[in-house]
């Protein structure tokens, strides 16, 4: 397993639409292992493949936040169905939008149809944090970030801040 570099906004790659996986291969499983390790090392609860620059419809998540017993979840080619008409609000962040947080409304419950780590067809009924997290990650597959739901002003302020952070982190400190 290996820790990969997580791309951050602004970055055109994050805006790509990811492609479906034909069949879950050994290579895809290795990718999921790397994604999970990368996510854990960055203290995230979800990561989409495109966030490490790979445009495949693959997501890993672990919302357990428990150091002792990890509960990794793997979603390949996920599709969301039966979105609730009622919304719930969470303060969201994103590993690709570092240190920025904002409240986002999303359908409170949903159903996810997907392939698991072994390529088996699965259906998950999600609610609460799980529902929000899977919808946030699914957005990544469409090139959407949570800041896209904010007002134009708020979004441009965040992007400005991120661009500044990026410049200073690229600078040489001697
Ligand atoms: Ni994210």
Task: Tally Cβ neighbours within 10 Å of residue 30.
Answer: 12
Distance between CA atoms of residues 145 and 152, nearest Å = 13
74 pLDDT more than 90: yes
Distance (angstroms) between ligand 1 centre and the Cα of 174 equals 33
Cβ atoms of 32 and 114 closer than 8 Å: no
How confident is the model at residue 89, as a pLDDT?
96
Which of the four pLDDT bands, split at 50, 70 and 90, describes residue 56? very high
Distance between CA atoms of residues 40 and 23, nearest Å = 26
* All residues with CB under 5 Å from ion ligand 1: 94
Distance between CA atoms of residues 53 and 112, nearest Å = 24
- In the numeric block, the tokens 């946030």 are attached to 136
pTM of the complete model:
0.93
- What strands, in cross-sheet order, belong to the sheet with 58-61? 46-48, 58-61, 73-81, 109-115, 121-127
**63-84 average pLDDT score:** 91
Q: Which of 101, 2, 131 is nearest to 54 (CA)?
A: 2
Which of the four pLDDT bands, split at 50, 70 and 90, describes residue 67? confident
**Any bridge partners for residue 105, and if so which?**
89
Cβ contacts of residue 51 below 8 Å, gap of 6+? 6, 7, 14, 95, 96, 140
Q: Which of 171, 28, 36, 154 is nearest to 95 (CA)?
A: 36
59 pLDDT more than 80: yes
Distance (angstroms) between ligand 1 centre and the Cα of 138 equals 9
Residue 143, both tokens: 């090139």
25 pLDDT more than 90: yes
pLDDT in tens, 87-141: 999 999 999 999 999 999 999 999 999 999 999 999 999 999 999 999 999 999 9
* Alpha helical stretches, state H, the chain: 26-41, 128-141, 152-170
**Any bridge partners for residue 87, and if so which?**
107
Distance (angstroms) between ligand 1 centre and the Cα of 32 equals 16
The arrangement of secondary structure in 12-170, i.e. its CATH architecture, is Alpha-Beta Complex (3.90)
91 is catalytic: no
């Amino acid at each position: 397993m290996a820790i990969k570099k997580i791309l951050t906004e602004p970055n055109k790659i994050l805006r790509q639409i990811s492609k479906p996986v034909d069949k879950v291969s050994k290579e895809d499983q290795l990718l999921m292992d790397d994604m999970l390790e990368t996510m854990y090392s960055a203290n995230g609860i979800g990561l989409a493949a495109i966030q490490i620059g790979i445009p495949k419809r693959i997501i890993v998540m672990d919302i357990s936040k428990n150091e002792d017993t990890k509960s990794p979840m793997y979603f390949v080619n996920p599709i969301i169905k039966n979105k609730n008409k009622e919304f719930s609000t969470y303060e969201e962040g994103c590993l690709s939008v570092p240190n920025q947080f904002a409240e986002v409304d999303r359908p409170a419950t949903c159903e996810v149809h997907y392939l698991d780590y072994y390529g088996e067809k699965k259906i998950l009924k999600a609610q609460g944090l799980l529902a929000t997290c899977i919808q946030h990650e699914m957005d990544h597959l469409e090139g959407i970030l949570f800041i896209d739901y904010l007002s134009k002003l708020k979004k441009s302020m965040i992007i400005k801040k991120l661009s500044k952070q990026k410049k200073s982190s690229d600078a040489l400190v001697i």
